[in-house]
Amino acid sequence: MTRKTRTTVRIIQYVILILAALYAFYPIWFAILASGRSGDRLYTLNLPGMFFPTEWTFENYRTMLFGRPFLTWLKNSFVVAGATTVLSLVICTASAFVLSRFKFKGREFFLIFLLAIQTFPGLLSLVAIAQLLTAFGLYGKHAGLVLAYTTGTLVFCTWNMKGYFDTIPIDLEESAMLDGCGPIQAFVLVALPLVRPALAVTAILAFLSGWGDFIFASVLVPAPDSLKLAVPALYELANSVSVPWGQFAAGAVIVVLPTIVVFLLAQGAFEAGLTMGGVKG
């Protein structure tokens, strides 16, 4: 390849990358810009203002954080998502351990059964779940929501953790067992510390399934204001009669930015994790 074509190729590569980066970044940037506009406007009619912060005020953030029950919504979301994460990790690490380390009748069947049952979309079982939670007195309560979310994460979480455990050679634990550990002890002391990145990725995804969910939260905990979760509450705000757009955008930024920061911090783990556990299996 000649020098000249190589430069041309590079230029084309950069053009593609820059366009893709704009595509990836602009919607988030749009929300950030809108959150800093004064008044209740979603747009500004001067075009540069659509791309650069020509005006900026923290008024919306102030109203959102102190003038509305937004902090309560955030706290609710955090508690529900956190409880989901802990419960989900405990349950699925246990089942993934057994599915990876023991050979027993029905193991293969159980794994396939998990995948197959998951193909029934959650949205379609929502009425039944709502009825069930009502019967148990958990409808409209965070506990019911946590149970529903946890079950929703189990299949992915079990499969993912099992995939990781499979990559840890069993010899390590067997040598620990020669030294007198039981299988569970050997697993907890030897294998579990080795899959910390996997635990981190699974925990993040379990947390976010609760943090970002809309439909379950809006159906299972519809009221009152003090129990609502951040995402459905914000969506409701955006669909109310006269929408304070700046405040909505400020709320959305507060919900979205931490999510994105966590993803960026865990990027390495995601890239390593996917190739190990999720995709290659």
Partner 1 sequence: MAGWSGRRTSLTIVLFLLPTIVAILIFNVYPLILNTYTSFTNRNQFRPNPDCANGLNGVLDPLCWGVFKAPQGLGSPYRLQSPILKNYSILMGTLFTPASLLALLKIIIILAPLVVASQVNKRLDRGLTRSIPSGAVWLLAIIALVILGAALNFFAALNILMSTGDFLIVVARTLLFVMLRVPLTFVLALTLALILNDKTLKGNTFFRAVLFLPWGASSVAILISLVWQFIFREQGVINQLLAALFHIKGPVWLNNPIAAFGVIVVADIYFSFPFFMVAILGALQSIPADTYEAADVEGANYWDKLFGITLPLIRPAILPATVLTSITAFQMFGTAYAITQGGPQTGAATPGATEFVMLYAYRQIFQLQNYGIATAFAVIIFIFLFGVTLWSLRLTHITRGVYE
Contact set for partner 1, span 201-240 (CB under 8 A):
208-209, 211-212, 214-215, 219, 231, 234-235, 238
Among positive and negative, which fits the CA dihedral 211, 197, 262, 51? negative
Counting residues that bind partner 1 (by CB under 8 A) gives 105
* Residue 24 or 71 with smaller CB distance to partner 1: 24
Helix, strand, coil in percent for the chain, rounding step 5: 75, 0, 25
Give, as ranges, the residues between 17 and 76 that touch partner 1 (CB under 8 A). Answer: 17, 20-21, 23-28, 30-31, 34, 42-43, 45, 47, 50
Tokens standing for residue 246 = 């700046």
Residue of the chain from 54, 63, 72, 125 that contacts partner 1 (CB under 8 A): 125
User: CA Rg, the chain, in Å?
Assistant: 24
Find where tokens 């459905």 sit: 232
Least CB distance from residue 66 to partner 1, whole Å?
Answer: 21
DSSP letter (8 states) at residue 67: I
* Residue 34 or 198 with smaller CB distance to partner 1: 34
* Residue 28 or 192 with smaller CB distance to partner 1: 28
Range 51-88 burial, b when 16+ CB lie within 10 A, else e: eeeeeeeebbbebbbeebebeebbebbbebbbbbbebb
Residue of the chain from 7, 8, 131, 175 that contacts partner 1 (CB under 8 A): 131
Give, as ranges, the residues between 144 and 173 that touch partner 1 (CB under 8 A). Answer: 147-148, 150-152, 154-155, 158, 162, 165-166, 170, 173
User: Could you tell me if 148 and 129 are in contact, meaning their C-beta atoms sit under 8 angstroms apart?
Assistant: yes
Residue of the chain from 11, 16, 71, 189 that contacts partner 1 (CB under 8 A): 16
Tokens standing for residue 76 = 């609710």
Least CB distance from residue 67 to partner 1, whole Å?
Answer: 20
Residue of the chain from 83, 99, 201, 229 that contacts partner 1 (CB under 8 A): 99
Give, as ranges, the residues between 175 and 204 that touch partner 1 (CB under 8 A). Answer: 177, 182-184, 186
Tokens standing for residue 82 = 């956190």
